[in-house]
Amino acid sequence: MLTINVTVLLAVIVILRLRRRTEARSRKDEKLTVVIVLVLGLLLAPTAFGQGVLDVVTELVTGISESGR
């Protein structure tokens, strides 16, 4: 039996959709891309990879905010 990880499938869909030219997209198409990216984010968030990304972004934001003082 072949199983496909939904997160990987959504990541591939996002990459393919974002490769298209901006001028060729309708407003409805852009909204669908945003929804797909949000779902991908929700699927990645509870994983170890998602937590690692959160830690990196937190460190980056903290460093930027401290450098502005």
Q: Are 41 and 7 in contact (CB under 8 A)?
A: no
Q: How far apart are CA 43 and CA 50, in angstroms?
A: 9
Residue range 21-59, pLDDT digits in tens:
777 778 888 888 888 888 888 888 888 888 888 888 889
Domain definitions of the chain by residue range: 6-67
Q: Are 11 and 40 in contact (CB under 8 A)?
A: yes
Apex 8 CA angle, 39 and 18, nearest 5: 70
Question: Residue 2: pLDDT above 70?
Answer: no
Q: Are 40 and 14 in contact (CB under 8 A)?
A: yes
The pLDDT value given to residue 4 = 62
